[in-house]
Amino acid sequence: MSDDLAINVINLNKFFGPKHVVKDVSLQVKKGEIYGFLGPNGSGKTTTIRMMCGLLTPDSGSGTCLGYDILKESAEIKRHVGYMTQKFSYWDDLTIRENLDFVARMYSMLGRSQIINETLETLGLSDRANQLTGSLSGGWKQRLALAASMLHKPDLLLLDEPTAGVDPSARRDFWEELHRLAAKGISVLVSTHYMDEAERCHKVAYIAYGKLLAQGAADEVIASQGLSTFILKGTNLSKAMERIESAPGVQQTVLFGTMMHVSGLDKDLLRQSLQAAASEYGLEVEEADTGLEDIFIHLMKQADSN
Amino acid sequence: MKRFTGFSFSRWWSIVIKEFLQLKRDRITFAMIVAIPVLQLVLFGYVINTDPKNMPTAIISNDSSVMTRTIISAMEQSGYFKFVANLPNEEAGKAALSRGKVLFVVNIPTNFTKRVIRGEYPSILVEADATDPTATAMALAAVMQLPSSVVTRDLTGSLAFLAGKSAPFEVRVHRLYNPEAINQYNIVPGLMGVILTMMMVLMTGLAITRERERGTMENLLAMPVRPLEIMTGKIVPYIAIGLIQATIILLVALLLFRLPFFGNILLLYFVVLLFVAANLTVGIMLSSIAGNQLQAMQLTMFYFLPNILISGFMFPFLGMPKWAQYIGSILPLTYFNRLVRGIFLKGSSFSDLWPNIWPMMVFTAIVMTIAVKFYKKTLD
């Protein structure tokens, strides 16, 4: 069973001084799976990823990455895992080619210059290969970092917010590439803030305040929370907002311009309240699918109140 | 599955290349490499002066009498001399001087007392290691006063007739290695070690903390590179720099200060290489201990100060209190000072220098071990 798991960690805990930043996190990622790791800033995503690739030692807990013990075999993990840091961590004072060359030498790769030329070609950086990396814009740095972390053809990619600051079309290309890699059997754990990206993952996990609040396929996660959502449409939404927020059965509201998502756990009560409010303010009520974003806001609020 | 253990040349080489490239683009550091040795050498070469006491002295005495004992105790009372050895002959005296065991050899000839009494006006020979002329100048001035002070004490009774005239014997002084007592002859070779210490420790002191502060350490740690590969890889470019600096200093010493050079140039470069390696490991160690670049700089200064003060650069090593000598014996600069002065001024050979070479090698090995131990393999 554990043979088809790329990541299998159990009850990871990490303290920074008195701060308990990762609490009993258990996570299983199957081979060839794209696993989305979501959660607000400072929720422990980066710390968890760092523990998986041996950059941080968990205070308790155990697990394996590609079958290697995360506590004892971090050297092996490093050879087979591609890790992209959240903050750009290649050398600004080396050129693009020199950075790639450094990585290729690090992994003792054969046919270095050919691999690097191909990578530069794919990246579209061939004619800027001898430019200092520090002079690249944020989006280009991000793409370079991703290419560099995949240079040694790892079996598992750990990507810490790889698309932060990347434009939409580049993000789309990036996700297509991820799915191509996954089809080849490469496993990916990717942390992100973008909901559209979360929806492109095979599975997602949501973490807040160091605790894993939900995990599974997107629809499973949505179903597991038993949240119902209605959409209110109309021009008086902002005025109605206060009234709706305090209505019985309403757990949360999210305003999108001329549209409002209202979610609650008790579907019938919620419907009644909203219909009452709608007739009062002249709004339309429509039942809708609960989205991941609704779920995550819900989870976040729950975690907040604890 | 292949186990991940041994040292990888490929990974090590990738670090070496990276460090060279980064260094090449760091213009200010590059300017420092040339400017600092020249500036410091010119500044300090003309400035530093000293007056030490209790310098180790050996005696070769073929005559034991009240008079010779008086001479010896008069020398000791001057405060400059401390008799540490009785040597059988002149060869032993020369060897002790050459090895740096003693700074002076006092040679009292056979039948000295008899010849004084006979009015033959004999000589006492004082040989001095004058590589550090300021260290020996005051002592030698004091030794010149010997004849007259002995006269007043011992030439009484039946010998009183000798007292009235001028001194009944003379003291001859041989300044070895630096006969004209030129202070720069001592300071300039010493500065080679001081400048190399400062530059080498400082530059590598920043090597790892810089990675940490720029955030590139996380990347490096995520790669399958071993601490020893990183550390030795980071050292290599600075070895080249150390050799360049040593060459600059050597040229300034020979061309500007007109220093004599009696030794073997290859031997000099060999000891420079060992010394540079020793200092670079210190830098790497400090760098792996320090949390940031500022701390690394402070640690560097903390290491640098005792190097100036108790390595024998500022004050003659053998004139320092014992405890200071013990601390000084840890520092590679102490050995390097002796080595470089020995090669420049004494023309010492490898076997003369070996007692000062192996301690630097031991030091390097120990410090490197500590550095690798302290190197954090995780971000914890």
pLDDT at B273: 94
CATH code assigned at A152: 3.40.50.300
CATH code assigned at A249: 3.30.70.2250
Q: Give B276-286 pLDDT, tens digit per residue.
A: 999 999 999 99
pLDDT at A69 over 90: yes
B222 and B109, same structural domain?
A: no
Residues of chain B contacting residue A50, judged by C-beta atoms under 8 Å apart: 379
| pLDDT-based confidence at residue B125 (cuts at 50, 70, 90) | confident
Residues of chain B contacting residue A92, judged by C-beta atoms under 8 Å apart: 214
Residue of B nearest to A71 (CA): B378
Can you give the residue range of the structural domain that contains B283? 9-47+183-374
Out of B17, B224, B380, closest to residue A79 by CB: B224
> Cα A49 to the chain's mean position, in Å?
11
B200 and B281, same structural domain?
A: yes
Across all residues in chain B, what is the average pLDDT? Answer: 83
Q: Global pTM? A: 0.75
Mutate to test the interface with A, among B221, B228, B377 (most CBs of A within 10 A): B221
Q: Is the dihedral of CA B88, B186, B310, B289 positive or negative?
A: negative
The verdict on a CB contact (< 8 Å) between A105 and B224 is no
Give the count of domains, chain B: 2
Least confident range of A196-205, A218-227, B35-44, B326-335: B35-44
Across all residues in chain A, what is the average pLDDT? Answer: 89
Q: Show which of B124, B154, B176 is a domain's final residue.
A: B176
Reported ipTM: 0.84
The verdict on a CB contact (< 8 Å) between B22 and A94 is yes
The verdict on a CB contact (< 8 Å) between B219 and A85 is yes
Residues of chain A contacting residue B11, judged by C-beta atoms under 8 Å apart: 105-106, 108
Q: Give B316-325 pLDDT, tens digit per residue.
A: 777 777 888 8
C-alpha to C-alpha distance for B144 and B134, rounded to whole angstroms: 16
Min distance A92 CA to chain B CA atoms (Å):
9
B326 and B214, same structural domain?
A: yes
B166 and B187, same structural domain?
A: no
pLDDT at B21 over 80: yes
Q: Show which of A199, A222, A245 is a domain's final residue.
A: A222
For A77-114, b where at least 16 C-beta lie within 10 A, e where not — what string? bbbbbbbbbbebbbbbbbbbbbbbbbbbbbbbbeebee
B167 compared with B144, residue with greater pLDDT: B144
Mean per-residue pLDDT, A296-303:
84
Q: Give B145-192 pLDDT, tens digit per residue.
A: 777 776 666 666 666 665 555 667 777 777 777 776 666 777 788 888
Residues of chain A contacting residue B219, judged by C-beta atoms under 8 Å apart: 85, 89-90
Q: Is residue A306 part of a domain?
A: no
The verdict on a CB contact (< 8 Å) between B223 and A78 is yes
Mean per-residue pLDDT, A148-159:
93
Neighbouring CB atoms inside 10 A of A2's CB total 8
Residues of chain A contacting residue B380, judged by C-beta atoms under 8 Å apart: 56-57
Residues of chain B contacting residue A94, judged by C-beta atoms under 8 Å apart: 18, 21-22
| pLDDT-based confidence at residue B47 (cuts at 50, 70, 90) | low
The verdict on a CB contact (< 8 Å) between A55 and B222 is yes
Is B2's Cβ below 8 Å from some Cβ in A? no
> Cα B223 to the chain's mean position, in Å?
41
The verdict on a CB contact (< 8 Å) between B11 and A56 is no
Q: Is residue B294 part of a domain?
A: yes
Strands (DSSP E) contained in chain A are 5-16, 19-30, 34-38, 60-65, 68-69, 81-84, 156-160, 187-192, 203-208, 211-216, 228-233, 252-256, 259-264, 284-288
B207 and B99, same structural domain?
A: no
| pLDDT-based confidence at residue B97 (cuts at 50, 70, 90) | confident
B211 and B123, same structural domain?
A: no
A185 and A129, same structural domain?
A: yes
A104 and A37, same structural domain?
A: yes
The verdict on a CB contact (< 8 Å) between B13 and A105 is yes
Residues of chain A contacting residue B21, judged by C-beta atoms under 8 Å apart: 93-94, 98
Can you give the residue range of the structural domain that contains A6? 2-222
pLDDT at A2: 53
Min distance A56 CA to chain B CA atoms (Å):
5
Give the count of domains, chain A: 2
A280 and A154, same structural domain?
A: no
B92: three-class secondary structure by DSSP: helix
Min distance A103 CA to chain B CA atoms (Å):
8
A140 and A113, same structural domain?
A: yes
CATH code assigned at B125: 3.40.1710.10
B324 and B269, same structural domain?
A: yes
